[in-house]
Structure 1
Amino acid sequence: MIVSELTYPDGYQTEVMHVQAEQSIGKIFMFHGMLEHHERYIEFAQFMADNGYDVFVCDLRGAGTSAHDQQSYGHLAPGDGFQQLVEDARYLIDRYEDGRPTYVLGHSFGSLLARRLGQIMGHALAGLIVVAPPPHPGVAGEAGHRLIATVMKRKGATHQSRFFERLLFGRYNLKFLPARTDSDWLSSVPDEVDSYLADPNCGGLPSLGFLHEVTRASLDVTTAARIHEHPKSLPVLFVAGVDDPVTHDGEGLNGIIKKYRNADVELAVVTYDNARHEILREAHREQVWSDILTWMKQNKIH
């Protein structure tokens, strides 16, 4: 495994983890979820490398040790923060372009980034893997986004609000009450939840600017119009836990699936019973990994 520093054109620095395969048949670029970091994917990346894929995972802007060092943890610039993540991702992918098949995998918030990449550069990709995807947030999401924008004008983009954090994400744990922690919705494995809570590079309060970009991306990337930008030649795999509150316990996932099928996109869907949000770190993670690998090999470009 190689960990290197990457500096984007605007000077922002991040860490990139490259897990190398002995005889590589392709590349995977992975994008993590909200308020976590690349090191949480070492186990999955090593599995994929052992099966022939070079894996690249970077800390997204506003995440990880680099963000703490640059005093930007949990913050994105309102208005263009998500677009900056898209540009960062394209810069990373282009940096390692070598003609081998390229897959993009995104988890949760990272899946919004992955889906947007599929829409704007899908013809250059071999496949898209969408893990624990947030659906379109509907009328409530639109109202929340407008309210965040209004408060942000008064308090500033870097202001941290427990109220908005609870408003947007507080319902996730309701299904698991009485809960051991506020984060039981992440995984059915207590050790995984405890690991997340103990990690200084996980969690915390996001800024209003960050929440503005999360809600804006959720509203934009998941629309039918955006989905119709996705090339019909780019296959997609959706992976989710049946008990994941982020996908509205499957209801939101069904809505996303319908939109992709209406757009005539080649789509496969795998769901797992008794599994929550962090499906790649669930009790039956090796089955999930194996299913992703099987799908990738079925869609390999020769």
Structure 2
Amino acid sequence: MDLQESFINSPDHHRIPLLSWAAETPSAVLVIAHGMAEHAARYQPLALWLNQQGVSVIAIQHRGHGPHCPETDLGHYADQKGWQKVVDDLQQVVVHARKQHPDLPLTLFGHSMGSFIAQAFTQQYGDEIDRLILCATNRIDKPKLRTSLALVRSIRALRGKRHHSRLIDKMTFGAFNKAFSPNRTSHDWLSRDTQQVDRYLRDPLCGFPCTAGLWSDFISGMLTINPRSWREDLPIHLLAGDRDPVGEMGRGFNRHVADLRGAGLLVASDSLFPGARHELVNETNVDEVWHHILDCLRTETDSGV
């Protein structure tokens, strides 16, 4: 159950960092794709608990994130084809996990930004996983995304791909926090657990601004997501807090669930946790959330009912 760090070399010579927590006698494996402006090590408490339940865990450090990212690259995927590169990085980690655990069911878990990377992965490489869990996700609101992309691209064209825009931060994280005013901190929207929020704020690898290039890649990538092109028999579990502004306080999340079902996909479960905010795995009802994730992993016959 000790943390192990390793690296995979990508075709463009990027070293993909991954963290692994191996159960003694695993019955399943979980691959985690983390969110924006955070890092994989934050999932260690969940991973260690899952190890005790017989689940081995592997978490990727996305480009532009984590302790091995050069300071000049923090918050930036790549100068060219950033979105496809983070999706392909995840595919290499899934292939690695399969080699490590060839006989075990493999589930991909994506949180927030990671949930959209996981959806793009599923669209391109869906045959390589057995189950998909989308946490703190939202619908693909194409009109809104196109409007945001036009603004982001204008900022990128004017200031450059690596520019950190205060306007973009205000429109995203700043807007999310307004729902919880009067605010104690700049990131009250993350969790009701004030200790977790304070821990996030103290972490130099969390809460950093992302570049106009990353935002352009991210929004463009989201716009390519088309559930009607996914494999229809892949069990999908979705979970979020009903006070998560990313999921439009549950409204966007519910719309996303309906869209997936409308595409003929196998939505095995969808769960909105009352009062919970964005970081479900770090919320005040963490025991309930962790057990729910375990239940998703242990479902032998997933049903779309």
TM-score (norm 2): 0.92
Aligned match of 1:72: 73
Which of 2, 5, 8 is the aligned partner of 2:7? Answer: 5
Q: How many residues align?
A: 296
Deviation readout 1:100-145 (Å, 9 max, x if unpaired): 2111000000000111222222223210000000322442321110
Deviation readout 1:190-245 (Å, 9 max, x if unpaired): 11111111100011111110111222223332xxxx10112111000001001000
| Contact map agreement 1:31 1:57 (CA 8 A) in 2 | yes
SS in 1 for 2:214: helix
**Separation of aligned partners in 2, 1:78 and 1:212:** 11
The correspondence of residues 240-259 of structure 1 with structure 2, limited to 5 A, is 240-259=240-259
Aligned match of 1:45: 47
The AA in structure 2 aligned to 1:19 is W
Distance 1:195 1:300, change over 3 A: farther
CA RMSD of aligned residues (A): 1.6
Aligned match of 1:110: 114
| Contact map agreement 1:78 1:212 (CA 8 A) in 2 | no
| Contact map agreement 2:77 2:86 (CA 8 A) in 1 | no
Give the gaps of 5 or more residues in structure 2.
Answer: none
| Contact map agreement 1:19 1:46 (CA 8 A) in 2 | yes
Which of 160, 167, 171 is the aligned partner of 2:171? Answer: 167
Aligned match of 2:205: 201
**Separation of aligned partners in 2, 1:173 and 1:277:** 11
SS in 1 for 2:139: coil
Offset at residue 77 of structure 1 (A): 3.0
**Separation of aligned partners in 1, 2:220 and 2:172:** 13
Aligned match of 1:93: 94
Aligned match of 1:282: 283
Aligned match of 1:29: 31
**Separation of aligned partners in 1, 2:262 and 2:228:** 9
- Percent identical residues: 28
Give the gaps of 5 or more residues in structure 1.
Answer: none
Aligned match of 1:120: 124
Deviation readout 1:47-77 (Å, 9 max, x if unpaired): 11111111001211110111136x3110123
Aligned match of 1:61: 63
| Contact map agreement 1:79 1:213 (CA 8 A) in 2 | no
Offset at residue 300 of structure 1 (A): 6.7
SS in 1 for 2:213: helix
| Contact map agreement 2:16 2:89 (CA 8 A) in 1 | no
**Separation of aligned partners in 1, 2:103 and 2:228:** 26
Distance 1:220 1:137, change over 3 A: same
